[in-house]
Amino acid sequence: MLAAGVTVSLSFDASSLAPINMFESMNVAWNLGIPWVGTDTAELPPVVFRQAIEMATINGAKALGLQAVTGSITPGKRADIVLIRADDLNIAPIGDLESTVVRSATPANIDTVLIDGRIVKRNREMVSHDAGTIVRNAAAAAHAVRTRAGGVLTPTSPTPPRF
Please give the average per-residue pLDDT across 28-37, as a whole number.
Answer: 94
Mean pLDDT of the chain: 92
Per residue in 41-87, pLDDT (tens digit) is: 999 999 999 999 999 999 999 999 999 999 888 999 998 899 999 99
What band does 154 get if pLDDT is binned at 50, 70 and 90? very high
Hey, which residues does 82 pair with through a beta bridge? Answer: 113
Of 106, 80, 111, nearest in space to 24 by CA = 106
Range(s) within the chain of domains with CATH label 2.30.40: 22-126
What band does 3 get if pLDDT is binned at 50, 70 and 90? confident
Give me the pLDDT at residue 18, please: 67
Where are the alpha helices (H) located in the chain, listed in sequence order? 22-32, 49-56, 58-63, 97-103, 131-149
pLDDT at 32 over 80: yes
The CATH class of 22-126 is mainly beta
